[in-house]
Structures are given as structure tokens and as C-alpha cells.
Amino acid sequence: MQLIDIGVNLTNASFASQRQAVLDRAYAAGVDQLVLTGTSVEGSEQALQLCHELDESAQRLFCTAGIHPHSASDWTGDTEKQLHALLKENRVRAVGECGLDFNRDFSPRPQQEKVLEAHLAMAVELQLPVFLHERDANQRLLDILRDYRDRLPAAVVHCFTGERT
């Protein structure tokens, strides 16, 4: 069985001095591949750069590219263009982290929804999976996903506060 950690926040500054040690521990524990999470254009670019720096073989480190719902207010046309370009990089394996966070509401809900739909449209266009975040917005997320689910290749919700049923 292959083990893949799909939500690695290695771009966080708290890991700056120990990134290789974190990877070494993961590999020693049997993790085969890791996917670094992009939560902003800058963070997605950094995740991609770390993939190149820390895995010259291009076999073990990959990343996502997206805008976290907390930062949806920062979305512009330029953001979309930059993100679209990043998503075409071969080490970028999913669109996100994207979604809805109605718990903290750091960005207005309509803006979060607009940005999520832009992510989903890019995922459909490029046929990439989506890496989703949902907090206190499960029904709204499901309503939006309903329009895309038959066209998306795959999705994972790494943060979900809804019910099982």
C-alpha cells in the first residue's frame, strides 16, 4: 500500500529550519509521497519551489495551488491568472486549498463563494482534483459542488464540519 500525506503545511514559517527533518521523519515512517498545501498565490509558489528544492527526483513531493477561503477578499483578476498558470505546472496535483469558511468569516461569504466557483471552473477546465476546506458551510458547499461534481475528476474535503448523513 502506498501512503500519501495530502495536506502538508510545509510552507509555514515554523518549519523553515526543519523542513528536511520533517520529510525524513515522514519517509522513515513509511510515507511515500507528500502533497504540500498552497493557500495563496505566494504560498502556492513557495510550495512549488519547495517541491523542486527538496525533491530533485520529482517522485515524492507535489503540491496544490489555491486561495484559502480566509483570503478570498484578496482575489483579483491577476490572482486568477497567476493561479491558472501555477495549476499548469506538472508538480501541482490539485486545485486548492479552496472552499468556504463561514465560522470565522475572514472574507465575506459572497466573495468566498465567487472564489470557490472560480477554483472549481479551473479544476474542470484542467481536469485536476480539488482540495476543499469547509467550516460551518457544509450545505452551501454541497449546493455549489452539485453543479460541478459530474465534471470534476476528484475531490477531497480535508476540513468538514457537516454531519455524516
At residue 128, what are phi and psi to the nearest 5 degrees? Answer: -115, 150
Q: What percent of the chain has pLDDT over 70?
A: 99
pLDDT of residue 165: 64
pLDDT of residue 130: 98
pLDDT of residue 75: 97
Does residue 97 have a cis bond before it (omega within 30 degrees)? Answer: yes
pLDDT of residue 65: 99
pLDDT of residue 163: 78
Cell of 34: 507528500
Alpha carbon distance 20, 26 (integer Å): 10
Q: What is the CATH number of the domain that holds 14?
A: 3.20.20.140
CA dihedral 7, 89, 50, 35 (to 10 degrees): 20
User: How far from chain centre, in Å, is Cα 32?
Assistant: 19
* Pairing outcome for strands 61-65 and 33-36: parallel
Domain total for the chain? 1
pLDDT above 80: residue 111: yes
Mean pLDDT, residues 23-43 taken together: 98
pLDDT of residue 94: 99
List the domain range (segments joined by +) for residue 49. 4-159
pLDDT above 90: residue 78: yes
Identity of residue 44: S
82-100 tens-digit pLDDT = 999 999 999 999 999 999 9
Query: Is 165 within the bounds of a domain?
Result: no
Instruction: Record the pTM.
Output: 0.94
pLDDT of residue 68: 98
Query: Is 164 within the bounds of a domain?
Result: no
pLDDT of residue 89: 98
